[in-house]
Amino acid sequence: MRVPSSHARADLTENMMTSMIDVVFLLLIFFLCASAGRRSESLLPADLGGGDGAPGAIQAAAPALLDEVWIAVTLGANGRPVMTLNATPYDQFAALEAVLSQLAEIAPESPVVLDIGPKVPAGEMITLYDTCRRAGFETVNFNVPAAPAKPAPVSE
């Protein structure tokens, strides 16, 4: 009579555990990737009302946005950047930052659009971006000119 060996049973258990561990790690990676792009719930506005249960006038959750703040940047005659905000030119970042700080106190959620001229150095563009963020604006965007339309093909 042959005595059954436990060696074959250990191989079977080891093979079952290997695939179980693979499945657990795949699920872990899936849930990490799925939750990485999720927006935090504490950032979403929720006005729950007064709590008396009676229907009443709904209050606005946030004040209305101001118009977009457009800042055009070109190079002046002396080679220095000239920033134009609402048709008012500024040649120094400190003066522009003072005006932007006042606007940001009113509505920091208003988007700022930077219209950078073609010859403006990248360092000046970054300084202007930092000035807008330091003033307190939440969103700073760049204006990108539209690509020229391609001419229609001529059919003969």
Tens-place pLDDT, residues 45-86: 555 555 555 554 444 444 444 678 888 888 888 888 888 888
Is the per-residue pLDDT at 141 higher than 70?
yes
- Token duo for residue 107: 């509505």
pLDDT per residue as tens digits for the range 85-139: 888 888 888 888 888 888 888 888 888 888 888 888 888 888 888 888 888 888 8
Res 4: pLDDT: 63
Angle at alpha carbon of residue 34, lines to 31 and 36, rounded to 5°? 105
Q: Are 114 and 128 in contact (CB under 8 A)?
A: yes
| DSSP strands (E only) in the chain | 69-75, 81-85, 88-90, 112-116, 140-142
Strands 81-85 and 88-90, bridge-based pairing: antiparallel
In the chain, domain spans = 69-142
What CATH number has the domain spanning 69-142?
3.30.420.270
User: Euclidean distance between the first and final Cα of the chain, in Å?
Assistant: 96
111 DSSP 8-state letter = P
Beta strand 69-75 with 88-90 is unpaired
Of residues 126 and 5, more confidence is placed in 126
In the prediction, which pLDDT does 27 show? 92
